[in-house]
A and B are shown apart, each in its own frame.
Chain A
Amino acid sequence: MAEPGLAVTVTARTPSAAVVTDKAVTLLAWVLGLAAVALPMGILAFLAAHGARVLSWEFLTAGPAGFPLGAAGGIGPAILGTLALVGGGLLVALPLGIGGGIFLNEYAARSRWVPLVRFTAECLAGIPAVIYGLFGYSLLVVFFALKISLLAGAVTLGLVMFPIILIGTHESLLAVEWEYREAALALGVSRSYAIRRILLPKAWPGIAAVVVLAAGHAAGSAAPVMVTASTVLTRTGVTLDAPVMTLPTHLYHLIAEAVSFEHAYGTALVLVVGMLCGNALALPLRRRRH
């Protein structure tokens, strides 16, 4: 019905059309939301159904055994190797990524180079993992003569995690309202004091989330460590200059060589549950204190 005084005729939507649209959107949201929950839970349930029966204390602690290798025994050295590689990689990626993110947003924000650095980091984050493996192999293993070792693999995984952490830190700091910087610096404090006491605590939940994401991504990547750090069997403990077993490469070995699908499912289950535990342990870090 046209409203008096309006040149354009305004027709009210019928209430039923609005109600139907609203219900359809609500239904779609519920379906997509449930799918988002069901998909990872379904994968976990599938892995548990096929791999749970091999899980035992021995499977989690012993080395692979049997013929072909891996048909019996466990994945203890692979768990240790993965933890060591991700831990070592974080030692490289955290200072580079967080420091780089802070530099981009807090010290070089007005520089015209920032978009270029961000673009490069985004490209780096999108590079297939196997290329990191090739780069790590040619630079670290061959050129720097680090051999196939935990050190070469950890540095390579650090390079995998670095751009993800840098982008996440930059975004988290960007999300902190500009007024916090002004209010802090207006008290005559230094920029580094404001960053340490205010900006990083404000940005921390976002940074912690992205660090956990990067660590999970690195822990599950076989390609970067395949030619830089991993081996199919280790008898000694984990040392920097020796190769290590890793969960993803062990899994690849079990499947590609058709060694034992049951052990493969068990290994995959341990990898996924390990990532879930890592995420759960990081939850307190991601909580905002104030």
Chain B
Amino acid sequence: MTQIEPALRAAPLPVLPPLPHAREWPVEPLPTTALLSIEDMDTHYGTQSVLQEVCCRFLEKQVTAIVGPSGCGKSTLIKALNRTLELTPGGRVTRGRALFRGHDLYAADADPAAIRKQIGIIHQRPIVFPMSVQDNVLFGVRFHRRLTAFAQRELARELLERVGLWKEVNTRLDAPAAALSGGQQQRLCLARTLANAPEVILMDEPCSALDPTATRHIEALIAELKRDYTIIIVTHNMSQARRVSEQALFFYQGRLIEAGSTGQLFEDPHEPMTREFVTGQIG
């Protein structure tokens, strides 16, 4: 897949074919114009199977929460969505497809680097690079684009403002990023991802290492960012999933058990296993 230019983002999404093994989701009708779609996907780490026959669709400019107990394959799923799964030793997609705007992300001519630029990811533990705050923000964009020193400064300011960090760090842009607090580091990582101008932001338990105040910051940011981005968030925190998402997927032991609107999935789940999970009986 070649990189999708911003102009193409305005183009209507292609109509997707029916999913091969999709179960009768409560979301009716099954969305046909999803930005991202996973079709009948299996993944493995080495010989260990992690996801089996996963079929799901992610709607454009909505927040989708992926919930489920530890080890159910939530993180594996989002890593498969931007081809970072293969960066983990042994991690690979063994069957099925992932479609982004109708393009197969695993096609032979697909460029993993271009996909990762379009579909950014925020990890569980904020990983700041051994460089200054500003250099961290611009790390990716400096690789992809040639910018003047003035443009770099302006872009860094704009991104740091976007993630609500500018007031806290504007006097120490050249200071090491490692000196920031955990919550600030996570927002810095978000700014670094936004610098690539992605269409989709994947978040892998972005608040699990943060205190309640920092968590509130991130959740407020998600609410603000969903106007411009499609967000898929993995969380083990059901309250958080309810607060931030419109759609939710429930995974159990590598299989998608139920998908639907967040309200329906948490208030009126159709699957007994989902009911057990949301009522705290499993997980």
Contact = CB atoms under 8 A, between A and B. Distances in A.
A190 B113 contact: yes
Interface residues of A, number: 23
A189 B130 CA distance: 16
Interface in B209-225: none
Contacts of A3: none
A198 to B, nearest CB: 5
A290 B178 contact: yes
Nearest to B121: A186
A179 B143 contact: no
Contact of B177 (A181, A193, A201, A290): A290
A182 B113 contact: no
A185 B87 contact: yes
A109 B90 CA distance: 12
B117 interface: yes
B139 A197 contact: yes
Interface in A261-290: 288-290
Given A190-B143, A193-B143, A185 B130 contact: no
Contacts of A183: 123, 127, 129, 189
A84 B44 CA distance: 54
B192 interface: yes
A113 to B, nearest CB: 16
Contacts of A193: 143
A188 B125 CA distance: 19
B89 interface: yes
Contacts of B115: 188
Interface in A221-245: none
Q: Considering residues B84, B87, B89, B178, which has the most beta carbons from chain A within 10 angstroms of its beta carbon? A: B87
A150 B139 CA distance: 44
B193 interface: yes
A179 B178 CA distance: 15
A112 interface: no
B139 A184 contact: yes
A190 B116 CA distance: 11
Q: Considering residues B118, B143, B178, B192, which has the most beta carbons from chain A within 10 angstroms of its beta carbon? A: B143
B114 interface: yes
Q: Considering residues A188, A190, A201, which has the most beta carbons from chain B within 10 angstroms of its beta carbon? A: A188
B139 A187 contact: yes
A181 B139 contact: no
A13 interface: no
Contacts of B239: none
Interface in A199-233: 201-202
A189 B139 contact: yes
B123 A197 contact: no
Nearest to A110: B89
B120 interface: yes
A207 B226 CA distance: 44
B117 A188 contact: yes
Interface residues of B, number: 31
B230 interface: no
Contacts of B132: 290
Contact of A184 (B118, B129, B196): B129
Interface in B98-150: 113-118, 120-121, 123, 125, 127, 129-132, 139-140, 143-144
Contact of B125 (A179, A181, A186, A290): A179
B164 interface: no
Given A182-B123, A186-B120, A288 B130 contact: yes
B82 interface: yes
B47 interface: no
B88 interface: yes
A180 interface: yes
B176 interface: yes
B130 A289 contact: yes
A253 B246 CA distance: 83
Interface string A160-176: 00000000000000000
A181 B130 contact: no
Interface of B: 82, 84, 87-89, 113-118, 120-121, 123, 125, 127, 129-132, 139-140, 143-144, 176-178, 189, 192-193, 196
10 A-B pairs closest in CB distance: A188-B117, A187-B140, A290-B176, A183-B127, A188-B116, A290-B130, A189-B143, A188-B113, A186-B84, A186-B121
Given A183-B189, A184-B129, 16 more contacts: A179-B127, A180-B127, A182-B84, A182-B87, A182-B88, A183-B123, A185-B87, A186-B121, A187-B117, A187-B192, A188-B196, A189-B144, A190-B143, A198-B130, A202-B130, A289-B130
8 contacts: A179-B123, A179-B125, A185-B87, A188-B117, A188-B196, A193-B143, A290-B132, A290-B178
